[in-house]
Amino acid sequence: MKNIVIGRFVPGKGFLYRMDPRTKIISLVLLMASAFVIRNFTAMFMAIGFMALLLVAGRINIFRVLSGLRPLMYLLAFTFIFQLLFNTQGDLVVAWTLHYSPLNILMVTALVMLWFFTKRHVKFKFFFFLATLVGAVALVANLRLGPAFATGTLDIYESALTTGFFIVMRLMIIVTLSTVLTLTTKPTDLNLGLESVMSPLKVFRIRTEEMAMIISISLRYIPTLLDEANKIMLAQASRGVDFSEGKFKAKIMQIVSLLVPMFIISFKRSDELANAMEARSFVPGQPRTRLHQLTWGLADTAALVVSLLALTAVITTRVVM
Amino acid sequence: MRIIEIDNVSFHYKAGTPVLENVNLNVDKGEWITILGHNGSGKSTLSKLLVGLLRAKQGTIRVANVELSETTVYDIRKKIGIVFQNPDNQFVGVTVRDDIAFGLENLQVPRGEMIERIEQYAQKVDMADFLNKEPHNLSGGQKQRVAIAGILAMETDIIIFDEATSMLDPKGRNTILSMMKQLNDEGVTVINITHDMKESLYGDRIVVLKEGRILKDDTTKVVLADHKTLEKSSLEMLLPLRVLRALEAKKVDNEKVRSYLWQLSLTG
Ligand SMILES: Nc1ncnc2c1ncn2[C@@H]1O[C@H](COP(=O)(O)OP(=O)(O)OP(=O)(O)O)[C@@H](O)[C@H]1O
Ligand SMILES: [Mg+2]
């Protein structure tokens, strides 16, 4: 239940931890924009190198970043395969004839069975799955066992590979950057930084302070509500509700039996909380002094300059080349 | 000097079911009054009326000679602090430090002074070692002490404790009570809402509420011995005084015993 908390902060050292959250947020935006603008290989490899450098210099555990990428893998694979199948620009790189014969199909089935029974012993399941898929296709294309009852073609064009590569890298860079931000910034600091970065929006009458207050209260109450949910689940379980299994309909009933009391409790809570806040002289929109203050250092200026340079460099290469 | 004047105040949440009826109550500056009453007698409602979280349907409330109204409510809230019953629902900050800071930020206390006050009042409630802790890592009693520190730090003239000690163990309760005593000695007006008769011993005066009406308003000593009132509002008399009453019923009338039992009950 606890692991649904997104954007986990992990205490650590490293220079990224000491940086002002505002710097990190602005740099994140600049670097993300750069990643989107990149259209050539040299720049992309430099960007990847830059990311690696960032992770190493920031002393960030690479596995945490990878685990941040995990939920994205299927999307990435899908986008890539989509490109391979439907992008038909540029030179033809691969032109395979697919040979559908009973023996070939048998081989593929064997491969799938192998995958199915060994997958639980393999560490990187997703890559294993991809490898099996590629293997199966390669098998059908290159092994001609017995007479075919049908044939097909698989054409892959150059632009499919490059576009696919760029899209995948871009998304990975974006997710890695955001993971780095949330890994190294406490939610409260992140909130403070966001509030400060968004404060120009006040011109448009967007009440950034109140938004920040709402986020901060949500952050404070997430663990409390999770505890509450656990308690309710225990209470319902002791009355015979089984949360572990059941068919679809039973699952819905379980969720309802959790949500209804959760809602009631949350409303009561927020009512009392609002009272307590008002009684402590909180007036929405009124000026307040702040305990937490962000301090801008030399490193922050440097980081911002680097990110800005990256963006300008990428834009100029694109305009020039 | 009068600091709170409640004049003929009535209130209801739903028309037809009055929660408070024609309540008249005056509190002097520096006084410590105890409000006793059964569940649902309207104690919390009264305290919410005092800080303008609810508006009286009838009657007037004056705090420090200012009548409570829509325009004065913000100034009046700066004079009254209130510690609510459930510590979980009044913890605003992400950490203990942030929570104590919340009220000070609202009062626009300068940052330097804020840091000092947080330190000072966290120490006062014995939570100085927990300043960086998050609320879900604290016990109910600890959270309540943080809530109290958050109110004390605001340095208001009046503090209402609405069953603020009901979550605490006997030791925690005694520290809070002696702290309340110290505050009161420093001139803070204390209104303590409680179910615990022993707590009322600290106060100068007891107000007994029953079904939204003031049943009795007298000095602590008088109310504590008034078995009829206590019985009517389903409160239990302190043990030494019960013993005294039983002895009197048996016509055992010994001046020494009487004063000893009184002394026993007053020292808690
Ligand atoms: N928000 C509300 N809406 C409707 N009725 C309410 C509300 N809050 C309280 N009441 C009712 O008003 C009456 C007085 O409630 P109040 O909370 O003031 O009592 P109390 O003396 O503080 O009780 P306790 O000792 O249990 O804290 C009760 O009958 C209660 O049911
Ligand atoms: Mg109450």
Of A8-17, A244-253, B16-25, B172-181, give the lowest mean pLDDT range. A244-253
Query: pLDDT band for position B119 (50/70/90)?
Result: very high
Tokens standing for B181?
């005593």
pLDDT of residue A4: 38
Among the residues of A61-148, which ranges form H helices? Answer: 62-69, 73-86, 102-118, 125-142
What mean pLDDT is predicted for residues A282-298?
A: 88
pLDDT of residue A5: 40
d(CA B37, ligand 2 centre) in Å: 9
Of B98, B106, B109, the CB nearest to A280: B106
What mean pLDDT is predicted for residues B84-96?
A: 90
pLDDT digits (tens, 9 = 90+) for A291-321: 988 888 888 898 899 899 988 888 888 887 6
A282/B106 touch (CB, cutoff 8 Å), yes or no: yes
Beta-bridged to residue B159, according to DSSP, are B81, B190
Ligand nearest to the CA of B195: 1
pLDDT digits (tens, 9 = 90+) for B138-152: 988 899 999 999 999
Q: Is A281 on the interface with B (CB under 8 A)?
A: yes
Residue A205 has pLDDT above 70, yes or no: yes
What mean pLDDT is predicted for residues B4-30?
A: 94
pLDDT digits (tens, 9 = 90+) for A164-178: 899 999 988 988 888
Residue scoring higher pLDDT (A18 or B82): B82
Residue A3 has pLDDT above 50, yes or no: no
What mean pLDDT is predicted for residues B246-251?
A: 79
Which of B89, B90, B162 has the most A C-beta neighbours within 10 Å, making it the best mutation to test the interface with A?
A: B89
Residue scoring higher pLDDT (B176 or B35): B35
pLDDT of residue A243: 67
d(CA B164, ligand 2 centre) in Å: 10
| Atom 9 of ligand 1: nearest residue by CA position | B45
Q: Find tokens 């200026």 and name the residue.
A: A301
Residue B69 has pLDDT above 50, yes or no: yes
CA distance, residue B109 to nearest chain A CA (Å): 6
pLDDT digits (tens, 9 = 90+) for B193-245: 998 888 888 899 999 999 999 999 999 888 888 888 888 888 888 887 778 78
Ligand nearest to the CA of B45: 1
| Atom 22 of ligand 1: nearest residue by CA position | B44
Of A107-116, A184-193, A245-254, give the lowest mean pLDDT range. A245-254
3-state DSSP of A141-198: HHCCCCCCCEEEEEEEEHHHHHHHHHHHHHHHHHHHHHHHHHHHCCHHHHHHHHHHHH
Residue scoring higher pLDDT (A149 or A271): A271
Ligand nearest to the CA of B11: 1
Work out which ligand 1 atom sits closest to the CA atom of B14.
Answer: 4
Q: Which residue of B has its CA nearest to A274?
A: B90
CB B244 within 8 A of CB B250: no
Of A237-251, B54-68, B151-165, give the lowest mean pLDDT range. A237-251
Query: pLDDT band for position A245 (50/70/90)?
Result: low
Query: pLDDT band for position A6 (50/70/90)?
Result: very low
pLDDT of residue A233: 83
Instruction: Give Cα A141 distance to the centre of its chain.
Output: 35
d(CA B46, ligand 1 centre) in Å: 10
Q: Is A220 on the interface with B (CB under 8 A)?
A: yes
Query: pLDDT band for position B268 (50/70/90)?
Result: low
The percentage of chain A sitting over the pLDDT mark of 70, rounded to a whole number, equals 96
Q: Using a 6 Å CB cutoff, which residues line ligand 1? A: B 13, 19, 37, 39-45
Q: Which residue of A has its CA nearest to B162?
A: A276
Residue B104 has pLDDT above 90, yes or no: yes
CA distances to A6, B86, B134, B144 from B165, in Å: 36, 10, 21, 8
Q: Complex ipTM, two decimals?
A: 0.90
What pairing do the DSSP bridges indicate for beta strands B66-67 and B80-83? unpaired
Q: How many Cα neighbours within 13 Å face the side chain of A68?
A: 25
| Atom 26 of ligand 1: nearest residue by CA position | B39
Q: Is A225 on the interface with B (CB under 8 A)?
A: no
Highest mean pLDDT range out of A113-127, A139-153, A255-269, B25-39?
B25-39
Which of A188, A280, A295 has the most B C-beta neighbours within 10 Å, making it the best mutation to test the interface with B?
A: A280
Of A216, A273, A282, the CB nearest to B94: A216
pLDDT digits (tens, 9 = 90+) for A74-101: 888 888 888 888 888 888 888 888 888 8
d(CA B40, ligand 1 centre) in Å: 5
